[in-house]
Structure 1
Amino acid sequence: MTRVERFAGVVAAGSTVAGAALLTAAIVLELGGISSRAELWSAAGAGAAFLLALAGPPAPAARRFAGRAGLLAATGFSALIAVAALWQGSVRPDPSVLLLLIPVALLFATAGLALREAAVERRRARLDRARSRLDGAEAERRRWARELHDDALQDLAAVQVLLAAAATAGAANATAQTAAIADAREIVGRQIQSLRRIIAQMRPLALDALGLAAALEDLARRARDRDGLDVEAAVDALPRLPAAAEIGVYRIVQEALTNALRHAGAARVRIEAGPHGPGVRVVVRDDGGGPPPGGFAAGHGLHGMRERAELLGAGLHVGAAAPRGTEVRLDLPVQAM
């Protein structure tokens, strides 16, 4: 958020509080029949304050429409009280004053439309989140299918060929039979390791047994062993988090490592995690090419990372690292613990 947006947020919040206070005063004056003039000015000031609050900083669509509806309704109610005070304060009430009820009605109608738009935006946001989850799950299934097809199935087919050759060789060629069986055992052993890796990626056992800190260190070790990436993990003692929070953080770090290897061309990656203020901060920094000029594409897994961070109520920053490379920083609030 920019400095101008922060200032607009402070002004909007202050205007809302001032409008609520003035509207409360106008209602008290109306109920007590104390002073129609004071009631008129209080109600008019409340309406002006609520209108000023409408110029607040941008927000997500559903929240923006809902907030606008509330402020418009409050403005309309303030205008209604002002019209009533104007009517009561007139020596000879003029029926033309009632024409002021027309813009009041328009304010309430606009508030109703804003509420309707907020409901539509909430429904659209729910559908987008559901579609994103389905797309992510489908992409994950395709990835597992590719790995199993390109790796496990081809090696199992090779094992079948070797065992068939061993059976054909028979006792007459014991050396060829022994070699074929040895090759088959080697392939089976390699596939056992590969399947263990796939299972660990699907659900890291260290996360359930030892917690997030151990799981991140295990993730770094497997990235070093499997991909040859120089991954350093500096993980301080972390409190146990809810299961959803731990798996969310783990997946974000896992995606950041994948990006560093496949997209950034990095040679070294550093994972840092530890308490930060009232929450937890996790940073993944690589020495790759850094963000492209136009920023990262959604296909770099950013959409999934941002969605996971949003579900956790966490802040996610993805940008350039110093002196080069990319930094992914996740700030997990205390309410996620």
Structure 2
Amino acid sequence: MPPRATPSNVSAAVDAPVARDLAVCDRVQGVWCGVRGWSLTYGVAGLVGAGTAVVSALMGPVSWPAALGAVAAVVLHAAVVLRSLPRLLGHDDARALAGVVMVSTVVLLTVAVALAPWVAMIQFASYPLLWVVSSRRREAIGWTALSSVAVFLALAAGGDARAWVNAAVIQAVSFAGNIGLGLWFSAVYRHGTQTQDLLDRLTAAQDELAALHRDAGVVHERERLAAELHDTIAQTLAGTVLLAQRARRERGAGTLSDDTLALIEDAAREALAETRTLVAAGAPVSHGEGLAAALPLLVTRIARESGLEIASRVDAVTGLDRESEVALLRCAQEGLSNARRHSGAARIEVTLVEVDGAVELRVGDDGAGFDPAARAEGFGLDGLRARLAHLGGHLHVDGTPGAVVVTARVPRETVRA
């Protein structure tokens, strides 16, 4: 049967693709925001340059053929830039295209300035563009210097000494301002890149931590369920097996009684009730009656099923939290089950008392004994040790023949006042 689809595993199955899709969407959105911004900027620069050339022709300093030539150069450059921006800002392998944009910026801007000098004002957009297109800072500085020199020559060519001085001052200020702006722009971009990288790492670490947390939760829940199954249903079913063996012996001897069959039925009902309890995701102690009430019922049932003499002393321990009650009841079940199945004991004694600021449960028998240090085939005692350790308690086993004692102790700190 295929595994059932639950909200948790469906969510886990789609989390990774959704995260990748969101990352792609964020990247695409960022790219197109950049494209729109620079397209608007350079569209405005193209209009300013073309308008400046036309105004220069209208005012007389520039002839109409020269003005129209400047407009053509500006429009061509704007078209090259606007056409190239999506690929350049999309971080595609567009090295050759970046070279085309930078060469056209230097050449076409110089031509436009030579034809209509006032077009030089669109350097406010063309120089920052060189920093955006260039992949390295030194490359951007080099192209900026080359463009500044070319525009300087275009402005000063054919003029007197005063024109050369004016052009030198204009381009020096333009170059210095652009270098400062470009370095600031690069620092901001580098900081943004580093911040994004740290954010990506943090997001990846959070995703990994969440996955580890989910895995740890799954493992913990499996261990808890395994312990509950062993300490409840498995113990009850083991008793049912012993009762069935007893019924078989009685049938062979012709002494099978209704009492034995009733015990088998009661044990089966108990296993069914425990199964329903686990399915309901709970582990109540004797249907919510508390440990002091559940322990005598457990002793009575085991005594009926096994025919053993079981004495009990149960003090009225109050205020014990549910998890501690469950742990101590499971210890009693394990101790009684082991004494019944393995020890050959004739008498068992169960005691629940408060000793030295702790709640202590003892299960003793006069059976054959065993070596507590030997590796056990099952995991009952080990599971109980882990359960008690979680509560800050401990389990002590004395396997002396004739005086076997299993002692479970929960510290006072887990007892509510």
| TM-score, length-scaled by structure 2 | 0.37
| TM-score, length-scaled by structure 1 | 0.45
Instruction: Give 1 or 2 for the bigger CA radius of gyration.
Output: 2
Higher relative contact order (CA 8 A, sep 6+): 1
